[in-house]
Amino acid sequence: MGGERPEQRKFNKIMEKMKNDDFKYIPKEEKQIDWTKYDQAQINEINNMLLLIRDTVDEASRRLKIEEIPDKKERGRPPKPPQDLAKAVLMQQYFGGSNRVTEGLAILFREKMEIRSSFSYKAIERAYEIPEVTLILQEVFKIAQEPISDKEHNFSIDGTGLPTSTKQNWEQDKQKSKTKGYEKMVAMVGTTYKMISAVTITKNPEGNESPYLEPLVIETAKKYGEVDLVTGDAAYISRENCNIIASIGAIPRIYPKKGISLRQKGSKAWTDMLLCFISDPQKWLEEYHSRSISETANSTYKRDFPVPLRRKINLRRKQEAFTRVCDYNLKRRCYLRYLEGIPLKVGG
């Protein structure tokens, strides 16, 4: 102990206080919600959501130059326009309906959604692995974020399990190491507008979340003009992750673990982050606790889509989870129109 640097001793002391609940953190005041505007957002949600799905899918198809598929002379079932199928799967996840119910929704909203073809419920099931539909959904994910790309600067990362059965509960099963039967989603979320900026559905729900930080940070940096802050819980604490965040010009705020060293070992961002923690723990924790927004986003995602993932084929199930992410962002856009005055206009 006598050979420790003063900063290290101070860090250890603060961590000990926090562990024993001797450090009093004063939470930041929560932003008040204008309930009149929120009521309007709820009243208009379904109408706005359907129109936004239609316009965003059409814009994505235009950008990708995906045209209507011409009639083919080869054997086999005739292909359906991927734009129509993309609209169908987005509607399916939004309403939480089965394949047969979604076939009915496509008929009901055919004119409103500008669906140009008819297709069976089996075509909807197969749509989750059609490459053109996948490309459209990926572009929809990007387009949904464009109105806030110069407004959102702070982000948080967190992972959560997505159940595939009504008998599952991620928080309870995680504590018992019963993660079989889940898909795990790791998402980067903007802490101001609560939109998901980057996401991955992991190969192994029992695996470490930390390696996913790098690709999600890089993807976020490509979409947003300026990233100032990235926060994460102790699962992401490493010098490498601090370096990755600093490399895009952002400040890392990753919750430290007791016993870690302040030594740089090739990471100035690591030492700077911990020295800031020592210098002003209250301010550091205020910045760090914006991380709770990612937990809020995960919770909202699960409330918006209470039905467990239905697809049995692994590829289709992961695409189903991503389709819900697209719907989550589109729904946020619908609410931001009323809460923040951000227009629903798509494209130029």
pLDDT surpasses 90 at 19: no
Structure tokens at 147: 């109105």
Q: How confident is the model at residue 170 (pLDDT cuts 50, 70, 90)?
A: very low
Strands 251-254 and 154-163: unpaired
User: Which two tokens mark 74?
Assistant: 């080869």
* pLDDT bucket at 231, cuts 50 / 70 / 90: very high
Q: According to the model, what pLDDT value does residue 1 have? A: 47
Q: What is the CA radius of gyration of the chain?
A: 22
The tokens describing 20, both together, are 């024993």
Residue 132 pLDDT exceeds 70: yes
Question: Residue 251's pLDDT is what?
Answer: 98
Classify the C-alpha dihedral 323-324-328-334 as positive or negative.
Answer: positive
Q: Give the global pTM.
A: 0.91
Q: For residue 207, what pLDDT is reported?
A: 87
CA distance 217 to 232: 11
Element (H, E) at 197: strand 196-201
Q: Domains of the chain, with CATH numbers?
A: 35-146+310-339 (no CATH), 152-297 (3.30.420)
Overall average pLDDT of the 291-319 stretch = 94
Report the SS3 class of residue 252.
Answer: strand
Q: What is the rounded CA–CA span in Å between residue 248 and residue 341?
A: 29
Q: Give the pLDDT confidence score for residue 21 in this predicted structure.
A: 76
Q: What is the mean pLDDT of the chain?
A: 91
Cα–Cα separations (whole angstroms), residue 207 to 65, 171, 182, 188, 236: 38, 16, 12, 18, 13
Look up tokens 């289709």; give the residue: 316
- Residue 22 — very low, low, confident or very high, per pLDDT cuts 50/70/90? confident
Query: Tens of pLDDT along 89-125?
Result: 999 999 999 999 999 999 999 999 999 999 999 999 9
Chain position carrying tokens 């309870």: 172
Instruction: Assess whether pLDDT exceeds 80 at residue 171.
Output: no
When pLDDT is averaged across residues 38-54 and rounded to a whole number, the result is 97
pLDDT band at 275 (very low <50, low <70, confident <90, very high): very high
**In which band, very low, low, confident or very high, does the pLDDT at 254 lie, cut at 50, 70 and 90?**
very high
User: Is 8's pLDDT higher than 70?
Assistant: yes
pLDDT for 3: 53
Confidence category of residue 169, pLDDT binned at 50, 70, 90: low
Helix %, strand %, coil % of the chain (to 5): 55, 10, 35
